[in-house]
Structure 1
Amino acid sequence: MLLYHGARPNPRAVRMFMAEKQLVIPMCDMDVDGGENRRPEFVVRNPAGQVPVLELNDGSWIAETGAIFQYLEETYPEPAFIGSNVEERAETRLWQRRIERRITEPLYAAFHYGKGFEMYKTRMLVLPECVPGPVALMEDGMRWLNALLSVHSTIVPRRLTIADMVLFAAIDFGAGVGWPLPIDLPHLARWFQGIADRPSAEFSLHPRSLQTGIHY
């Protein structure tokens, strides 16, 4: 297998997942800022032109972070970060979708439309006038999750899952591009620090983080 990745939060979440499972998979680092992932030779692997993409041993490809998680979890089921049974897997997917819809997707939209505008304006539809909307949605989602985390240490109660990894990578990235955690969200901050203290958090950082100060 070969993982195409780069300096972005979703590839970082996959690298965290691999570190937690102690998986060693060869990786190809794509220059996302330079648009290498938008060139024709890569788009045949993923028509969306995004990383991560996992190339399998038979030469086929799996795109989208959630699909890569699923493939690796089913191939290497222990330890389980989606779930050990159908009920756990459904619960994880439920929470993963909630945090994507309410926090990470608005965060990435705000970045693409705002600070990333010059980079993305030729790659996708960007709406700079809409930045306040995604920012408001993201902050509202953080406040919603902060209340829930007052009684849990992980997003899915009582177990670390891909939902924690996806959200951690997004929030750590967001702090570097202008959206740090609001100071009045102590439960979310406690959760964040708990994930940040795991060895996989530092291990998964892209080398460019040292150059830019942005964690991805």
Structure 2
Amino acid sequence: MKLYDATTPNTLRVQVFLAEKGIEVPQEAVDVMGGGTRTPEFLEMNSLGELPVLQLDDGRILTESVAICRYFEELYPRPRLMGESAYEQGLIEMWNRRMELHIFGPLGDAARHTFAFFADRVEQNPDYAAAQMRAFDRAWAWLDRELADGRPFIAGNSLTIADITGMAALFVCDLMNKTLPEELKRTKRWEKEIRCRPSLAKRMPDAA
């Protein structure tokens, strides 16, 4: 088994997921900036030219960060990061999708329409990027209101994949020099607690 990864938001999700479970998997770093995801060999594994990629011992391939996390959740069920009961699994999936669609997604779109690296992959639109950043700000304010019930993590009383998706959003925030407003007291409390976790701290952009 081998995990192909790099310092990207989606590979961060898998790396943190594995770290929280205490799983060690052989990894091979891919030089994204040097075109490592666009070689014929890599495109054989993932025709989209994206990371992460998990290659199983028999040669089968899994891509997409959440799909890879689900695979490891079934192999190593403790601690549960995707839920125990049917309801809990549904609730965590709900919150993970919310974090993807309303927070991680707009920020990622803004980055794709801003960073020079994506210029040959996306027809960049600065106005769209600005609109996505405004949507991102509104989403954090919405999340702050949702956390008014006092729960310590996004989906309840323990860390789940929904928080890990939030970590990926914080990773992009750092890359874009974006900070969360101080008046969002509940999300700032969550951010402070999340950033202190060893699974994340050493993987942030300024951790060198």
Question: Which TM bucket (shorter chain)?
Answer: over 0.9
Task: Show CA shifts across 1:128-167 (max 9, x none).
Answer: 3311111011111111001112321100011210110111
Structure 1 distance, partners of 2:175, 2:184, is 18
Q: Is the 8 A contact 1:196 1:202 kept in 2?
A: yes
SS in 2 for 1:131: helix
Mapped partners of 2:159, 2:207: distance in 1: 27
Instruction: Find the aligned partners of 2:123 and 2:89 in 1 and give their Cα distance.
Output: 34
| 1:165/1:25 CA distance change after superposition, 3 Å | same
Does residue 30 (structure 1) correspond to residue 30 (structure 2)? The answer is yes
CA separation in 2, counterparts of 1:70 and 1:196?
A: 23
Alignment of 1:47-196 (within 5 A): 47-114=47-114, 116=115, 118-150=116-148, 151-196=150-195
What is the percentage of aligned positions where both structures have the same residue?
A: 33
Structure 1 residue 189: Cα displacement: 0.7
* Structure 1, unpaired ranges of 5+: 212-216
> Structure 2 CA distance, aligned partners of 1:195 and 1:35?
32
Kindly provide the amino acid, as one letter, of the partner of residue 185 in structure 2.
P
Conserved 8 A contact 1:92-1:156: yes
- CA distance in 2 between counterparts of 1:74 and 1:126 reads 39
State the alpha-carbon separation in 2 of the partners of residues 33 and 106 from structure 1: 22
- Between the aligned partners of 1:188 and 1:45, the Cα distance in structure 2 is 38
Question: Whole-Å Cα distance in 2 between the matches of residues 125 and 77 of structure 1?
Answer: 42
Once the two structures are TM-superposed, the CA of residue 209 in structure 1 deviates from its matched residue by: 4.4
SS in 2 for 1:44: helix
When normalised by structure 1's length, the TM-score is 0.90
CA distance in 1, matches of 2:77, 2:137: 34
If asked which structure has higher relative contact order (CA below 8 Å, sep 6+), I would say 1
Q: Calculate the aligned-residue CA RMSD, in Å.
A: 1.6
SS of equivalent residue, structure 1 residue 51: coil
Distance in 1 between residues matched to 2:104 and 2:25, nearest whole Å: 26
The Cα of 1:52 is off from its aligned counterpart by 0.8
Query: Which has the higher mean CA deviation after the structures are superposed, 81-90 or 186-195?
Result: 81-90
Q: Per-residue displacement from partner, 1:77-98 (whole Å, max 9, x unpaired)?
A: 1111001232221111110000
CA distance in 2, matches of 1:83, 1:173: 26
TM-score (norm 2): 0.93
The CA deviation at 1:210 is: 4.7
Count how many residue pairs are aligned between Structure 1 and Structure 2.
Answer: 207
| In 1: Cα distance, 2:31 partner to 2:122 partner | 17
Gap runs ≥5 in structure 2: none
- Report deviation, 1:176: 3.0
Cα offset for 1:169? 2.3
2-structure distance, mates of 1:32, 1:133: 27
